[in-house]
Amino acid sequence: MPEEELDPNFLLNELTEEHKFKKYTAVIKSISVKSLNPIYLELSNTLVGYANAFDGIISPNDTDVYDKIEKLNNLGNHYQVGQVVQVWIKDIKKETTDIRENISAEVSFYDPNLFKKEQKKSQIAIVDEEEEKGSFRVGQLLVCRVSKILKKGIRVQYARDSFGYVDITELFDEFYAYPLKKAEERLNTFVLGRIIAFSVSEDENEKGNEIFISLRQSILNNDNWKVIAAEGTTLQFKKKLGKQEEYGDLRSRIYKLGLTSIKPNMIFVGYVSQTNDKGCFIKLSFNVTARASHKELSDVHLLNPSATFFENRLVIGKDMLVLFLIVL
């Protein structure tokens, strides 16, 4: 650096609006992959900054989406404490306590202005605070963090204050006896998801608040999605994904062809979602549930057919005269 130029860090004793969107040298002070703000930095002797996982560390350039997931899950392989880095100040945060006013900076490893331009061209939605949920669309990919295991699925976070829901049927392509136990391995890690639906809004012209997300590899595959989505034809779907149905996997069929495509005598695989003294409900897909009476649960007599033993268990069956319920 020429002698007449000063490192801005020596002058950065306070943060004002004029510092926003400018580039600064900083030193990494801590790294925690389990935090929503996994990298903390020192901007000067008195000022600290932090980078948000969703819009501060990874670029929207989607050359290899799984490289981004790997980076977020293994930050220690890409950055080290004490490392000198270049960052841009995105925003200034002020917190007033009884003792003093604390000021910190939200920073980005990428120029925020270029970030927004690249994001518009990307197939992956990397969402910041200014992004409107209404701009999302079915089929869009999201970088998500598994935040909580629920009774019938998992909750994932895709922005600072935004969450989506992954149904038990959309966790894996494979069917596991205990899928939620398997999902615990992903808790607090980043995954790639695809938006498959929105909750129903009271206003038919607006999307609902909740976003339904799939983590299944067959859904994440772009070539598959082209035929599963509305623009794909039924013939393309059957040629490419027909084999999924040989062993009772009807999830993509239901999504593509609708409820009327389910016919009597079809073999299905699903998860028991609820039991009572009359039988149980079985989830065939994220938005379709079948009902089976207790006399159809087993060839042998069951003393207690409503036992919680069945709940969330994987079952295989055959469609008869069953009642389907849309749960969206």
Quick: pLDDT tens for 176-194: 988 999 999 999 999 999 9
Q: Rounded to whole angstroms, how far apart are CA atoms 275 and 298?
A: 14
Query: For position 307, what pLDDT does the model report?
Result: 44
Asked if the structure places residue 225 within a domain, the reply is no
Domain total in the chain? 3
Q: Do 184 and 241 fall into the same domain?
A: no
DSSP structural state of residue 308: G
Query: For position 110, what pLDDT does the model report?
Result: 87
Asked if the structure places residue 2 within a domain, the reply is no
Asked if the structure places residue 184 within a domain, the reply is yes
Q: H or E segment at 239?
A: helix 234-241
Q: Do 117 and 14 fall into the same domain?
A: yes
Q: Do 209 and 240 fall into the same domain?
A: no
Lowest mean pLDDT among 126-130, 171-175, 222-226, 267-271: 126-130
Contact 230, 256 (CB under 8 A): no
Domain finish residue from 201, 220, 239: 220
Asked if the structure places residue 285 within a domain, the reply is yes
Asked if the structure places residue 127 within a domain, the reply is no
3-state secondary structure of 82: coil
Q: Do 193 and 294 fall into the same domain?
A: no
- Average pLDDT value for the chain: 80
Establish how many alpha carbons lie within 13 A of residue 216's alpha carbon, considering only the half-sphere containing its beta carbon.
Answer: 25
Q: Which residue has the higher pLDDT, 104 or 236?
A: 236
Asked if the structure places residue 1 within a domain, the reply is no
Tokens of 269: 């695989």
Query: For position 126, what pLDDT does the model report?
Result: 55
Query: For position 116, what pLDDT does the model report?
Result: 67
Phi, psi (deg, nearest 5) at residue 183: -70, -25
Contact 69, 192 (CB under 8 A): yes
Res. 3: pLDDT tops 60: no
Q: Do 109 and 187 fall into the same domain?
A: no
Phi, psi (deg, nearest 5) at residue 9: -60, -30
Task: Calculate mean pLDDT across residues 146-157.
Answer: 94
- Show the CA angle centred on residue 59, arms to residues 57 and 60, nearest 5°: 135
Phi, psi (deg, nearest 5) at residue 185: -65, -25
> In the beta sheet, which residues pair with residue 26?
85
Query: For position 243, what pLDDT does the model report?
Result: 86
Task: Calculate mean pLDDT across residues 27-31.
Answer: 96
Q: Do 85 and 26 fall into the same domain?
A: yes
Question: Which residue, chain included where needed, has tokens 């306070």?
Answer: 14
Asked if the structure places residue 65 within a domain, the reply is yes
Q: Do 276 and 298 fall into the same domain?
A: yes
Q: Do 201 and 237 fall into the same domain?
A: no
Task: Calculate mean pLDDT across residues 61-70.
Answer: 79
Q: Which residue has the higher pLDDT, 60 or 193?
A: 193
Domain finish residue from 76, 104, 122: 122
Query: For position 6, what pLDDT does the model report?
Result: 43
Q: Rounded to whole angstroms, how far apart are CA atoms 145 and 38?
A: 12
Ordered alpha helix ranges (H), 110-221: 112-121, 179-183, 217-220
Asked if the structure places residue 3 within a domain, the reply is no
Q: Do 114 and 179 fall into the same domain?
A: no
Which CATH number belongs to the domain containing residue 307 in this structure? 2.40.50
pLDDT digits (tens, 9 = 90+) for 87-135: 999 888 877 666 666 778 899 998 877 776 666 666 666 554 445 455 6
Q: Determine if the pTM surpasses 0.85.
A: no
Please return the burial class of 23, using the count of CB atoms within 10 Å of its CB with bins 0-12, 13-18 and 19+. exposed
Q: Do 234 and 183 fall into the same domain?
A: no
Domain finish residue from 220, 249, 272: 220
Q: Rounded to whole angstroms, how far apart are CA atoms 154 and 216?
A: 13
Q: Do 276 and 174 fall into the same domain?
A: no
Q: Do 245 and 286 fall into the same domain?
A: yes
Query: For position 242, what pLDDT does the model report?
Result: 86
Query: For position 290, what pLDDT does the model report?
Result: 86
Mention every residue, 6+ apart, whose C-beta is less than 8 A from residue 199: 207, 208, 209, 210, 211, 212, 328
Per the structure, the complete domain to which residue 313 belongs is given by 230-328
